[in-house]
Amino acid sequence: MKIASRTVRTAVLQRMVILLVSRTGVSPVKRGFSGETQKKPGRTKEDQAMKRRFFGFVLAMLLVGTIAPSGNALAVIVLDPWGAETYVWITYAPSYWGGFSPVPSIFDYDGGQGSFSSYSSASDFRGDGQAAAQLQGSGIMPVLKAESYVASSDETWGTWTTAFAIEGYTYSGTGAQTFNLSASLTGDINNPYAGDPLNGTALRADIYIFNAENFVWCTDPGTLLYEYGATTKADPIEFSADETGHVSLTDSRSFSVEPGETFYLWAMLEAKAQWAPSYADAFSTLDLQFDSTEGLTPASVPVPGSVILLGSGLIGLIGLRRRFKG
């Protein structure tokens, strides 16, 4: 796995150096204007003990991880680019659709890189929406759900919901293998204003299969392709529907993988409703399936509880050793 960012990596190295220096009981050295080496006065035992406890906590967080804000995933600092993310936004339409809103927007966000699942929802007199994303909701495949509804008679209100997921897979077979990815989008739309260029009520889904080289955690495929230089294994699957009625769309892509190769499945589902009485419901759902999962190992493997206990125990033993030694 890779450190999440260069800034985090630098900070971690700095803290580890300080921790190692603090164990010697002598503070770091500095050079005077004449070039000679000078030692700063040593700290008291109490100060040194406090410093060790602090950096012990930092190392514990690096080793074990920390609970994500959503409370439903173990998000560690060292992460591969996988995760689940959702958000819901109820707001007034832009000024060219009717002007400034006297009512604040509602925004709910959950998940992110390192989250195994995510759920967001929002509701008030203007409408409601919800979105859910689960990395391994169907075997080892992500499942995405989203729905938006506009209840207010004011035609300028809108609800936007998004479910997003990235899952990585490593192929451990002995020979090259061709996989087939099938995708299906099921939902319902009520859009009395279909055909109006200013109306945004619609369901949309995009699915990409990226090579591992130059791939990073990113919710915009254009940024991945044109700024980071990521490449795809096949053409993307793109679904879009805005007419009133039941939605049932299917498509598939085939691609080849070499032994030991890693690739990433990037998927996003959007449901937008604008101008009452409109809704876009795809909560049942965007479904993704491989024709075979033999030899495929997902990147999003939960940290075993035994590892967490081991890490906590080691930190505790270090703390006791320092206490008795002091």
**Same domain for 192 and 294:** yes
**Same domain for 255 and 234:** yes
DSSP labels, 33-100: TTS-EEEPPPPPHHHHHHHHHHHHHHHHHHHH-EE-TTSSSEE-SB--S-EEEEEEEEEEPPGGGT--
In a domain, 200, yes or no: yes
pLDDT at 126: 86
Lowest mean pLDDT among 21-35, 210-224, 306-320: 21-35
pLDDT at 311: 52
Contacts of 21 (CB under 8 A, 6+ apart): 27, 28
Q: What is the DSSP letter of 118?
A: E
pLDDT digits (tens, 9 = 90+) for 94-114: 555 555 556 778 899 999 999
Q: Give the residue carrying structure tokens 């195994």.
A: 116
**Same domain for 169 and 280:** yes
**Same domain for 216 and 193:** yes
Number of domains the chain is built from: 2
Q: Is the pTM here over 0.85, yes or no?
A: no
- The runs of H, that is alpha helices, within the chain are 6-22, 45-64, 221-226, 305-325
Give the residue numbers spanning the domain of 48: 6-65+304-325
**Same domain for 313 and 212:** no
**Same domain for 109 and 161:** yes
pLDDT at 4: 41
**Same domain for 146 and 24:** no
* Dihedral, CA of residue 236, residue 160, residue 151 and residue 131, to nearest 10: 80
- Spell 297-308 as b/e; 16+ CB within 10 A means b: ebbbeeeeeeee
pLDDT at 29: 40
**Same domain for 241 and 181:** yes
Please give the distance of CA 166 from its chain centroid, rounded to a whole number. Answer: 7
Lowest mean pLDDT among 10-14, 246-250, 309-313: 10-14
